[in-house]
Every structure is written in structure tokens, then in C-alpha cells.
Amino acid sequence: MRCTQPMGWMPNSGDSGASAELNALWSRGQAFLGTRYAILGGAMSWISERHLVSAISNAGGFGVIACGSMEPAMLQAEIAATAERTNKPFGVNLIVMHPQLDDLVAACLAEKVGHVVLAGGMPPRPVLDRLKEASVKVIGFAPTLPVAKKLMRQGVDAFIIEGMEAGGHIGPVSTGVLAQEILPHLKDVPVFVGGGIGRGDMMASFLSMGASGCQIGTRFVCATESIAHEKFKKAFYRASARDAQPTVQLDPEFPVIPVRALRNNATARFLDAQRETIARFRAGEVDQKAAQLEIEHFWAGALRRGIIDGDVENGSLMAGQSVGMVKSEQPIAEIIAELVAQADDALAGA
């Protein structure tokens, strides 16, 4: 299975490159992931594919393929291609609202994926049961403590708590508040903290609070191994934390799922598109359902335009608030080594 630990390595064996104190803090995460470092790669559509995922795993972290809107055959091919590039553990992120979720699960099982991250809503019980029957380790998202406890009773093995500082689709609560609400009370399973983490000293802080590891996304976008367009990466180098803003909802009758991204021409046009569509609805030119669909479809294909095509004015530039800490292109191994060294320094200072 993809979750098998590298031959000859065990958590806390002393060869991880991290200090004994750091290894002690994230030993549970190491054991759960089967990795040298309890650093989980955030699943970022178009970016978290075979090259970046395998690089994270080869550097001692845990890469996660972002399935996004992939078809089952595409996902199965991506898993196989990733396995050709690493013999280290990696996982797959599935969106529970995907219309072909059952077939995507089948693709994961066919490729003997050891860990599956279920995102985008409450996982269907039959899907959980099917993964558990195949001995797959299931990671869920915990937006609140009651949700986490419910999912834990249904068989979820570990959780990610992700704050609003993250890039992409976000919730309403900050990482620091979620950590305080959840970590002291969710001790029976590993919990990984993500959202706005760009340095190792912040990782050390969450580990000291009881986290088993951390999820890193934005910090990896501009890695040498990332297939993101050079113009997309340059937008990150120029950006500050304040440039990563959530999308704005103009009318509560037309809800917009908030997405954090760098401001560009497209974000300004999105506001105009909402105004125009809502005005047409008020004038009786379109019904509410059609107007809502128009608003939701504004961003169709925008992420690919930004990441793959390099259209940084008209595409979506999803980024977390830690984007201000991304200043240059670096190999994944170098980024992870920096994070580990910063965590060790912080713990030594403490």
C-alpha cells in the first residue's frame, strides 16, 4: 500500500534530521503518515499533482494529490504516475460533492492508496465504510469540535483543522482560534493544523498545543518542482499577506462561498458581474436560480487560467495569507529543511 513506511525507517529512529524534542512532539503524526516529518502537503488543484506530491514525499513530508474535478481514469493515472516518482507515502484528496465520488474511491482502492483526505462537506457514510473496509486511513476536516466527534464515531482516523488564513475555499474562523477550540479536546486521534503557516516556529507553536503535525500549502506553490506558470509564481513573490483577500459577497440572497486569492482584474470584475446579475434579477429578466448559477460560473476555468496558462490578470490566484513569506523559487527539500530548522530553533529558544 502507498502508506507503507520506507524500509528501515521508524518514527523517532534518530535519523530524521529533526531534534529529539521536535520528533517527540510530532511522533504521532509521523507514525500515522509513515513519514520522516509530520508535514502534510495541502491539496491545491492543478498544483498538487505528480511532480509536487512526489517531491514532498521524497523530502520526508506527506504529499497529497488534489483530485479536484478529475475524472476517475485521470485520478487513477495520476496516482500511478506519482507512485513511479516516489516509494514514500502519499495520499489523495477527494471532494465529497464530486458526482463520481464512488468511482474516485474505486480508483484509489485499485491503486492501493493508503490515505484518503475527504474534503468539501460531510463524507457520506457508505464512502467512509467502504474506505475503512479496505483499511484505508481516512482524514477529515474538522470545522468544529462537534463535527469532529461525530466523524470520529463514524470511523475518521485523523483530522485537519484549517483556518481562514488559508488559500482557496475558506471558513469563517482563524487558525489560532480553531486550534484553541479543538486541540485541547480532541486527543484520541491525530490532528493536523493548517492555514497561514509559512514558518517552522509557527509549526512548533501548534505542535506544543497538541497538534500531531501541520499542513502547508501556499509555501509550496513556488517550489522548483511546482508546475505553476512562472507568471503565477512571480505574482506570489510580489504579494504581501494583505493582497490575499477573500471574495466579496454583495447580496445575502446570492451567497458566495468565500475563496482567498490575490487581488487582480478578475476579482474586480467579479464584483461587477454580481451587481449586473443581481440587477437583472431585480428587473425580472432572470429567475433567482439562473442568477445564482451565473454568479457561481464566473470563476469556471479561472484557476487553470492562472496556474497553467499564466493569465494572472483574468485567472484566479488562490493564495493563503502566508504568501508574503514566499520570496523565491526553492526546491521542496530546501523548503522543508528550513521549516524543520526553524521549528527546532523555536523549541530550543523556548
In this structure, what C-alpha cell is assigned to residue 297? 460560473
Q: Are residues 256 and 109 in the same domain?
A: no
Q: Are residues 100 and 158 in the same domain?
A: yes
Q: Are residues 202 and 249 in the same domain?
A: no
Placement of cell 451587481 in the chain: 275
Paired with 160 in beta bridges are 141, 192
Q: Is residue 120 part of a domain?
A: yes
Question: Measured between alpha carbons, how far is 61 from 205 in angstroms, rounded to an integer?
Answer: 19
Q: Are residues 286 and 336 in the same domain?
A: no
**Predicted local confidence at residue 322, as pLDDT:** 98
Query: Which carries the bigger pLDDT value, residue 18 or residue 117?
Result: 117
Q: Is residue 14 part of a domain?
A: no
Tens of pLDDT, residue by residue over 245-298, are 999 999 999 998 899 999 999 998 999 999 999 999 999 999 999 999 999 888
In degrees, to the nearest 5, what angle opens at C-alpha 137 toward C-alphas 135 and 205? 160
Q: Is residue 7 part of a domain?
A: no
Q: Is the pLDDT of residue 4 over 90?
A: no
**Predicted local confidence at residue 16, as pLDDT:** 66
Q: Are residues 163 and 287 in the same domain?
A: no
Tens of pLDDT, residue by residue over 49-81, are 999 999 999 999 999 999 988 999 999 999 999
Domain of 102, CATH number, reads: 3.20.20.70
Q: Is residue 100 part of a domain?
A: yes
**Predicted local confidence at residue 2, as pLDDT:** 53
Q: Is residue 175 part of a domain?
A: yes
Query: Is residue 274 a contact partner of residue 251, using CB atoms and an 8 Å limit?
Result: yes
Domain that holds residue 193: 20-228+327-349
Question: Measured between alpha carbons, how far is 288 from 244 in angstroms, rounded to an integer?
Answer: 30
Q: Are residues 130 and 74 in the same domain?
A: yes
Q: Are residues 255 and 212 in the same domain?
A: no
Q: Are residues 133 and 252 in the same domain?
A: no
Q: Are residues 203 and 248 in the same domain?
A: no
Tens of pLDDT, residue by residue over 75-98, are 999 999 999 999 999 999 999 999
Taking CB atoms within 8 Å and a gap of at least 24, the contacts of 153-159 are 154/123, 154/125, 154/128, 155/128, 155/129, 156/118, 156/123, 156/128, 156/189, 157/32, 157/189, 157/190, 158/32, 158/189, 158/190, 158/191, 158/192, 158/212, 159/186, 159/189, 159/190, 159/191, 159/192
Tens of pLDDT, residue by residue over 166-208, are 999 999 999 999 999 999 999 999 999 999 999 999 999 999 9
Tens of pLDDT, residue by residue over 299-337, are 889 999 999 999 999 999 999 999 999 999 999 999 999
Q: Are residues 134 and 260 in the same domain?
A: no
Q: Is residue 8 part of a domain?
A: no
Q: Is residue 5 part of a domain?
A: no
Number of folded domains that form the chain = 2
Q: Is the pLDDT of residue 341 over 70?
A: yes
Q: Are residues 144 and 244 in the same domain?
A: no
Residues 100-126 have a mean pLDDT of: 97
Residues 19-26 have a mean pLDDT of: 96
Q: Are residues 223 and 152 in the same domain?
A: yes
**Predicted local confidence at residue 168, as pLDDT:** 93
